[in-house]
Structure formats: structure tokens, C-alpha cells
Structure 1
Amino acid sequence: MKNKLALILALTICASAFAGCGGASSGESSKAAESSAEVAETADNSGDTIAEETASEKLLAEYPVNDGAYDFKQGATENMLGRSLLNRGDTSRLAAKIQRAVDDPKAVTNICYLGDSITAGSGASGSAKQYTNLITAWWEENLSLYVLGTNAGIGATDSYLAVHRAYRDVPPESDIIFIEFINDQDSEFYQATMDSLVRYCLALENQPAVILIEPSTEGGGSPQSAHLKVAETYDLPMISYHDAIIPEIDAGNFAWKDTSNDNVHPNDAGHAVMAQCVLNLFDQVKDGLENESKEVTPFDPAAVESPTGDRFAGATLGSADTPELVEVVDAGTFTESAQFGNFSGGWGSTTGGSAVFKIKCKDLGILYHKNISGTFGKVAVKVDDNAAVIVDGDFPGGWGNYPKAEEIFSSDETAEHTVKVEFINGDTAPDFEILGWMIS
């Protein structure tokens, strides 16, 4: 079975890359491209500041770049794989799932892939070449015969939206959950969204193994510094495709264009290497299964402190289909039913105007339709007497339409709030669609 999968991977990484930028391109990577790895600092006895060696730097010293040019289509080198395991973490949950599959090959394993357009498969020339399906194929070839794979990747989205949609998109019976969001930034906000998302997944009754995957944008942009803080907090495995390839590119051993056809989405060879990085961990755990701990402690959110305050605990999406969450006080001109992609039950207007809602929350965000037609305008979103937040539905010259999530309001206490949405540019661009409210 291993030989069969090896052939699949070999064919994948040797295949020529084709264009495949579904979902997002430059727009999707704009936030992540601004990210940079933070280097922790400490002071010595003299008062001078000394930079501490980061986890990435330590691994680079242990697993240096190739000595000269390398054909990326041949797959990952051993040192690339070594660098990619940025945080091995506690593998007991993964070991327990692997042990179950070994003991009962006919048992169904549920694997959920939660992410953005990379997880959705953008950049790959076909479904069989996507990193998600390569991982699923490995499991079927090497462990249990039956895998139920759930691809919950949505292009141009981030972990802020993901923490609000996880309840509907992540099957509660998941055995393994992969989380990948290149659209996050290396910031405290995205540390908080990832923190709450991870806590939600860890607390699922089936006690899934949760694994973070960190891609890269051209130039090395990545939110992995913020995500690593979360992985270290909960001792999670974290796989860095970024650390596997960027040092080699910086050294001139191969070029970004060998890994991607745009500035963010891996091509066939990139998807194959990303899968290799994950399967490197799987192989380690499987081969050392006898010595791996398989004792899993249930995660109790009330007993495990969140370093970010678990700001988005209980996050959910509110729409016209959930009147218990969102009360329409005055629909005004927002009487059209709004639907886009994976989201329905929203409110749309084609004539400008306004609408008023009542929503009980501590933190509130708006999910809206970002549109390239030129007919979508700006609205002011005002919560109670707070300053209005301007939200622009127009995406001039963009790569395509997409669902955009934006935080509107945050407080320390849950309370009922009046939320008014009002056009600010007359009828010159009269369209706007609220796809949902992000409530926590």
C-alpha cells in the first residue's frame, strides 16, 4: 500500500503545474503578506536587549538548506521535512486515532480540513492533487479502509469567520481537524480568533486531534508567529510549509514560481510537499506507535485558561433563519434575500436606505458581500451610540466576489444592542448585501 501511495505522490510532484487560482489571489494574500515573524527579546544583566532564537531559527540550524540548486518537483528533502515540524506538541490524540485505525481497519475515520482557498484546493490542477486528498489517500492506504473527509475550505476567509462557522462546518464526530488560514495576520486579534477556534475544536466530544498548517505568501508572509503562540499554549502539532520552502527560496535553491502559479496558492508540487510535511508527522507517530502515549484527557474550557480571554467563545452566525439571535426591528429597504456561496439567509438592498436590528452579543461582526460589479456601495454600521464603522461592499478591479468578515463592535459584557445599517453614498451605488451577523 505504501508503494502505491508513493507512486501517487511521485506522479503528483513531478506533474507540470497548471493555473488554478480559484477563490482568491492577490486580494486573499494582502493581509498575510504584511505579516512578519516576531523575534522575542530579553535583557541581559547589562541592560542590553538580546534577541532570543526563534523556533524557526533553531530548526533551520538543525536542518540547514540544501547545498545548491534543488528541483522542487522532486518533493521535500529530509531537512525541509525536519524544519516543517515547527511544533510537534502532544501527539496523544493523533496516536489514539491511529491506534484505533490499526486495531480496526474497517472503522470510519472522520477528517475535517478547515481553511481558506488553499484548503479548498486552489492552485491544484485537480482534486487528486490537493494536499487534503493526498492526506486522505495516505490514511486509506496505510491505516483504515474508510475515511470520511470534510473539506470546509472557503476562499478568501480567515479564522475570524471560521470561529463563527465552526459549529456548522466542523462535524462534531471529527477524529482529526486540520486548520489552515494564510489570510490571518500576525497580530493579537488573530491570535485571539485562532485561540477560540482551537478551544472549540479541542472541546468536541469525540476528542479530535487538532493540527495547524502554516502556508506562505510570496516573499515569506505568514501569520504563523501568532498561530504558534496558540499551538504552544495547547501543545498542538503545527506544520509549517512556510519554514520548509522559504529558507530554500531565500538561499536561491529554487524559486517561488516553482511552488506556485500566483503569489499564494501552491501548485501541484506545492500541494504535494504540503501533504508530505503532514505525512512526515503521521509516519513518525505510526512508526513509533508502541511508545506513543494514547491517553487522552478531555478538554474542559472552564478548567483551561485562555491567554486571550477566549473572546469568541460561543461564536455563531445570525441570519434571517435565526430570529432568536437577530431581531429585525425595521427591515427598511433591506428586503431582498441575500445569498452568496456557503452563506444564505441574509438581507440585501438594491435601493440604498437603511435597516435596524437588535442583537444580543459581546462581540459583533458583519459578514457581507464584497462585489466587483461596481453597483455595491458603502454603509455605516452603528451599534447603539458608538461611532459608526464604514463598510465598503465595492471591490473595484478585484479578482472576484467573496464573503468578507469585519469586526464592528467589542465589549466586556454581553448585552442587547441596537444595530443600524445605513447607506452613506445615496443611490450612486445602491446595492449592499448583509450575508450574516457574527455573534459571540
Structure 2
Amino acid sequence: MLSAYGHSWVYGTGARQHSEGFVELATRELGIRLDNQAESGSLSTETARLVVARPPRPADVFVLMTGFNDARLHGANPDGRRRYAEALEIILHALHKAEPQAVLLAIEQPYVEDYSGHPPYDKASDAIVDEYNAILRTAVEHFPPGARTVPVKGWDATTMLADDNVHPNDRGHSVLADCLVDAITRSAR
């Protein structure tokens, strides 16, 4: 089973149909069950509260994608980055505790074309997204070999975003699914 946590991208927002979201696509391709615990609009702190209130069930693979809404809301604010790092520690520990032998994949956030829409979630930039991805990589490095970050190779913000310029369209979800399938397949070797 694959258990997924995070924001609206993990939930499947932006795809024409929810069933075409990237974790749905990946689990269908791999023939494994999905437990999607993602919540649209969630911050990392909300995901941390979720895994404390409802501890994760054991799974073969955990997928986490969080931090985009944090970056968009807090921008360069150091307190926002600190809260993100603290939330990641809580989330990663909860996932590891649920199944210490599981593969734990944290997907790095790709860029969008324009961060200025959707106030107050309008404070990010490519550089700030890079900072949040660096925090994610640092947090994941403290976990066993089964934990790693997954960069989204082949991402093109000009063609892979829905009209809202915040969520991936079907093409974006397809690229995310390919990256996830590749990461899971490599982890199984």
C-alpha cells in the first residue's frame, strides 16, 4: 500500500478528474493500493497535526509533498521556514514510526510561472521554493536509507499548470506520476 500526505497536488487538484491525480496514476500503474490522506490547501503544520491526531497506518511506501503553501504564505519570513522544518520533523517521525521499513519519498516542489496570485498566498518565488526544497532535503537526510527526496525531472511550468497557475494540469500530474513511479521502482531494487 502507498500512503500519501500533503497539499492539493497530492490530493489531485488541477487534473480534469480527481482520479487522474499523480498518486492515483502512479498507484494504478504499479498495481498497489492507495491511502490518500492529502488535504487541499494544507500547510505543513496542518499535515503535522493530522499525523499526530490520526497516526499513519503501516504502508509499504509513504509519499509526502508539502511546503508549497508554506512558501507562498510566509515567503522569506524565517519564522515560516522554522515552522516548516519543525513540521517536517513531526511528519517524518510519524511516518517512520508507522512502518520503519517503508520507503519514504518526499517530493520536491517544482516552480510555477507566477507566484503573485491568490493573496495572502502570494509571497513565494523560485528562490524561496528552492529554500524550502533545501529544508526538505536536510530533514529527509536524517532518516534511514529508505527515505529520500524526489526532484520532479522534466517539469515545465509553462505547459504543466492548470489555468489557476497553482496546480498541475493533466500533463503536470502525468510527469509527477512518472517521477514517483521511477522513484518507487528504483527503491525496490
Structure 1 length as normaliser, TM-score?
0.34
CA distance in 2, matches of 1:174, 1:150: 9
Change in CA separation of 1:244 and 1:189 when aligned onto 2, cut-off 3 Å: farther
Residue 167 (structure 2) pairs with residue 265 (structure 1):
yes
CA distance in 2, matches of 1:278, 1:232: 19
Structure 1 residue 172: deviation in Å?
A: 1.7
Residue 5 (structure 2) pairs with residue 114 (structure 1):
yes
**1:202-256 deviation per Cα after TM superposition (whole angstroms, max 9, x unaligned):** 1124632211012234243522111111012225211122x642xxx5xxxxxx3
Residue 136 (structure 2) pairs with residue 227 (structure 1):
yes
Residue 89 (structure 2) pairs with residue 195 (structure 1):
yes
CA distance in 1, matches of 2:150, 2:183: 9
Residue 74 (structure 2) pairs with residue 183 (structure 1):
no
**1:51-101 deviation per Cα after TM superposition (whole angstroms, max 9, x unaligned):** xxxxxxxxxxxxxxxxxxxxxxxxxxxxxxxxxxxxxxxxxxxxxxxxxxx
Residue 42 (structure 2) pairs with residue 157 (structure 1):
yes
Change in CA separation of 1:126 and 1:187 when aligned onto 2, cut-off 3 Å: same
SS of residue matched to 2:42: coil
Structure 1 residue 273: deviation in Å?
A: 0.3
Kept in 2: contact 1:172–1:204 (CA 8 A): yes
Higher strand share: 1
Q: Which of the numbers 79, 104, 111 marks the counterpart of 1:210?
A: 104
* Percent identical residues: 19
Aligned residues: 162
Kept in 2: contact 1:152–1:170 (CA 8 A): no
CA distance in 1, matches of 2:82, 2:52: 23
Long gaps (5+) in structure 1: 1-109, 141-146, 250-255, 290-440
Kept in 1: contact 2:103–2:187 (CA 8 A): no
CA distance in 2, matches of 1:176, 1:215: 19
Structure 2 length as normaliser, TM-score?
0.76
Residue aligning to 2:22: 131
**What amino acid sits opposite 2:133 in the alignment?**
Q
Kept in 2: contact 1:121–1:127 (CA 8 A): yes
Q: Which of the numbers 22, 45, 59 marks the counterpart of 1:174?
A: 59
Structure 1 residue 125: deviation in Å?
A: 0.6
Mapping of 1:327-366 within 5 angstroms?
none
Residue 188 (structure 2) pairs with residue 276 (structure 1):
no
Structure 1 residue 156: deviation in Å?
A: 1.1
CA distance in 1, matches of 2:12, 2:170: 10
Kept in 1: contact 2:16–2:170 (CA 8 A): yes
**Segments of 4+ moved more than 6 angstroms:** none
CA distance in 2, matches of 1:259, 1:115: 19
**1:123-159 deviation per Cα after TM superposition (whole angstroms, max 9, x unaligned):** 101134210111111221xxxxxx3311111111111
Q: Aligned-residue CA RMSD in angstroms?
A: 2.2
Greater relative contact order: 1 or 2 (C-alpha under 8 angstroms, separation 6 or more)? 2
SS of residue matched to 1:133: helix
Change in CA separation of 1:170 and 1:177 when aligned onto 2, cut-off 3 Å: farther
Long gaps (5+) in structure 2: 72-79, 114-125
Change in CA separation of 1:212 and 1:135 when aligned onto 2, cut-off 3 Å: same
Larger radius of gyration: 1
SS of residue matched to 1:187: helix
Kept in 1: contact 2:15–2:170 (CA 8 A): yes
Kept in 2: contact 1:217–1:263 (CA 8 A): no
Structure 1 residue 260: deviation in Å?
A: 0.4
Kept in 1: contact 2:12–2:19 (CA 8 A): no
